[in-house]
Amino acid sequence: MKGKKKKLALTCSAVLLSAGMLAPTYDSPVKADPVPSVMKKPPVSGFISHDELTKKLNQIEKSSQGNVAVDVAGYSNQGREIYKATIGSGDKVVLIQSEIHGNEKVGTKALLKMIKQIGSNNSPEMRQLREELTIVAMPMINPDATELNRRGNDMTWDEVTAAFPQLEPADPSWNYYTYKNQYWDYESKPGFDMNRDFNPDLDYVPQPEDFPGSSSEPGWYITPESQTVRDVYKGLQSQFGTVDVFIDLHHQGEYAIEGTDDPVTFSLSGEFIPHPDTEEGEKYSEYADQYHVDFSKQLNVAAYDAVQQMGNSPFGNISLYEQDLDLPGTALGSFAMNGSGTVLFEITGQTQDFGQKKMGQLRKAVETGVYGILENVATGDVHDLDADRYDDIPLDDR
Ligand SMILES: [Zn+2]
């Protein structure tokens, strides 16, 4: 596994590609790659298209006997619906999203399955989730990118300045892609990495002096997709006070557990900014009182334990994602500063090169991890978990 097919230059993940070191500007490191004359793309027909999502969510809502409410939360830049499915009536709130990067598709499969199961299954466990939690699931929040099987959305800088005329004098944001390579053609269809477009100030209005920005600075809510997620988050805040838990389902390249050849199934993380109480995190000090990294660590431990309990490989190979990050423009970073416990899932294999290999297995592993979180939050057991065990989750060879 190692060496054979590692990483390419396309280790997209929640973080790496745009983390500054690899993409210093709004250009991409993969731009210089040679363009092969024939690019064989693995099949992705087993994943879910936007049309299928629409159909499946409607079916689930209809057969749920009132347990699942599906609403259009907003629209993508190209006018596709962004959905939210609400399940349960508890006062603990969990927001889960998938496919913020359109080439990271397993999370959407997992989320649909879970919406159906939690909404329609009458086992004591599922009933408890519905009674204790309000779960808001947003599968496929970047549907234009989904349709193009790529990371960025489908939007030009001109469209941004049309929406925000005050940005006319500004340079395009650093996360604006205009390159072309063997996988994607951002040259003819530019787009933004919307997972750098979040800002912990949920009322932030774009200002020209904040552009082009960088990976260690907040985003601007210039994309309709991030605005939609932000609006759902704000709505939950005003209804419940706090969004207790925020889970973001991504994909990454292929790695092995550190010191072994065991291929990682997925990686977890709960920390995306330096702690506001530290020197490095001082710029976030206004959010210090509502930043609960220990709770995030407990949530990650809950996911880790649940998957470990399934037994050996492939489900046992869970690693801790890269730590010591400073990514306030990610949804995870911004929402962590608003009081949410946060969990990142990085599932193995970017769709453009990994295709739908191991899809069922990976989906099952993610579902198990997410259920571990939901059950521990519903019962309150999460608060008894030892947050320090987060640091015992093995690293990988990245
Ligand atoms: Zn991602």
What average pLDDT does this structure show over 150-157?
97
Task: Output the CA 252–ligand 1 centroid distance in Å.
Answer: 7
Q: What is the whole-number distance in angstroms between the Cα of residue 359 and the centre of ligand 1?
A: 17
- Ligand 1 centroid distance, CA of 122 (Å): 33
Q: What is the pLDDT of residue 313?
A: 62
Bridge partners for 70 per DSSP: 85
Distance 151 CA to ligand 1 centre (A): 7
Would you state the pLDDT for residue 55? 98
For residues 114 and 367, is the Cβ–Cβ distance under 8 A? Answer: yes
Residue 130 CA, ligand 1 centroid: distance in Å:
29
* Burial of 250 from C-beta contacts in 10 A (0-12 / 13-18 / 19+): buried
Separation between Cα atoms, residue 318 and residue 200, nearest integer Å: 29
CATH number at residue 82: 3.40.630.10
- Residues 174 and 222 sit within 8 Å (Cβ to Cβ): no
| Distance between CA atoms of residues 67 and 77, nearest Å | 30
| Gap from CA of 99 to ligand 1 centroid (Å) | 7
Q: Is 5 within a domain?
A: no
Structural domain for 177, as ranges: 16-392
Considering only the C-alpha atoms of the chain, give the largest distance between any 2 of them, rounded to a whole number of Å.
Answer: 58
Kindly state whether residue 3 falls inside one of the protein's structural domains: no
What pairs with residue 251 in β-bridges? 347
Residue 39 pLDDT: 53
Segment holding 230, helix H or strand E: helix 224-240
- pLDDT band, very low/low/confident/very high, at 111 (cuts 50, 70, 90): very high
What confidence tens digit (pLDDT) does each residue in 190-223 have? 999 999 999 999 999 999 999 999 999 999 999 9
pLDDT at 357: 79
**First vs last C-alpha separation in the chain:** 13
pLDDT digits (tens, 9 = 90+) for 318-352: 999 999 999 999 999 999 999 999 999 999 888 77
Note the pLDDT of residue 25. Answer: 29
Token pair for residue 199? 């800002």
Residue 282 resides in a domain? yes
Average pLDDT, the chain: 90
Q: Which of 214, 150, 196, 173 is nearest to 331 (CA)?
A: 196
Which one, of 363, 394, 146, 131, lies nearest residue 267 by Cα?
Answer: 394
Distance 242 CA to ligand 1 centre (A): 25
Question: What are the E-state strand segments in the chain?
Answer: 68-75, 81-87, 92-98, 133-138, 176-177, 191-192, 245-252, 266-269, 318-320, 341-348
User: Comparing C-alpha atoms, which of 300, 299, 277, 279 is closest to residue 287?
Assistant: 277
**pLDDT-derived band at 316, boundaries 50, 70, 90:** confident
The answer to whether residue 9 is domain-embedded is: no
Identify any residues that bridge with 343 across adjacent strands, giving them in sequence order: 247
What spacing in Å lies between the alpha carbon of 352 and ligand 1's midpoint? 13
| 14-70 tens-digit pLDDT | 444 443 333 332 233 333 334 443 456 777 788 889 999 999 999 999 999 999 999
Q: Which residues surround ligand 1, an ion (CB under 5 A)?
A: 14, 101, 104, 250
348 alpha carbon – ligand 1 mean position (Å): 11
- Is residue 11, in this structure, part of any structural domain at all? no
Q: Which stretch of 106-110, 157-161, 361-365 has the lowest confidence by average pLDDT?
A: 361-365
Report the distance separating Cα 137 and Cα 87, nearest Å: 8
E strand or H helix at 112, and its extent? helix 106-120
Note the pLDDT of residue 10: 41
Distance 105 CA to ligand 1 centre (A): 10
Distance 175 CA to ligand 1 centre (A): 13
Kindly state the tokens that stand for 279.
């020197």
From ligand 1's centre to the CA of 254, what distance in Å? 14
Q: Chain-centre distance of CA 282, in angstroms?
A: 25
Q: How confident is the model at residue 161 (pLDDT cuts 50, 70, 90)?
A: very high
- Using CA atoms, how far apart are residues 17 and 182, in angstroms rounded to an integer? 16
- C-alpha 71/C-alpha 58 separation (Å) is 10
Q: Are 197 and 327 in contact (CB under 8 A)?
A: no
**Contact 253/6 with Cβ under 8 angstroms?**
yes
- Give 384 Cα–ligand 1 centroid separation in angstroms: 30
Backbone phi, psi, residue 344, to 5°: -100, 130
110 within a domain of the structure (yes/no): yes
Q: What is the spatial order of strands in the sheet that 81-87 belongs to?
A: 68-75, 81-87, 133-138, 92-98, 245-252, 341-348, 266-269, 318-320
Provide the pairing of β-strand 245-252 with 92-98. parallel
Say how many Å lie between the CA of residue 66 and the centre of ligand 1: 32
C-alpha closest to that of 266 among 340, 341, 358: 358
The answer to whether the peptide bond before residue 328 is cis (omega within 30 degrees of 0) is: no
Q: Phi and psi at residue 371, in whole multiples of 5°?
A: -60, -35
Q: Which residue has the higher pLDDT, 45 or 253?
A: 253
Place of tokens 């109480």: 277
Residues in the chain: 398
Q: How far is the CA of 340 from the centre of ligand 1 (A)?
A: 19
Q: If we measure between CA atoms, which residue out of 28, 127, 41 comes closest to residue 87? A: 127
Domain count, the chain: 1
Rounded to an integer, the average pLDDT of 274-301 is 97
Give the distance (Å) from ligand 1 centre to CA of residue 101: 5
| pLDDT of 304 higher than 60 | yes
Check if the beta carbon of residue 263 is closer than 8 Å to that of residue 314: yes
Q: Is residue 148 part of a domain?
A: yes
Is 231 part of a structural domain of the chain?
yes
Ligand 1 center from residue 347 Cα (angstroms): 9
Q: Give CA angle at 205 (217, 340), nearest 5°.
A: 60
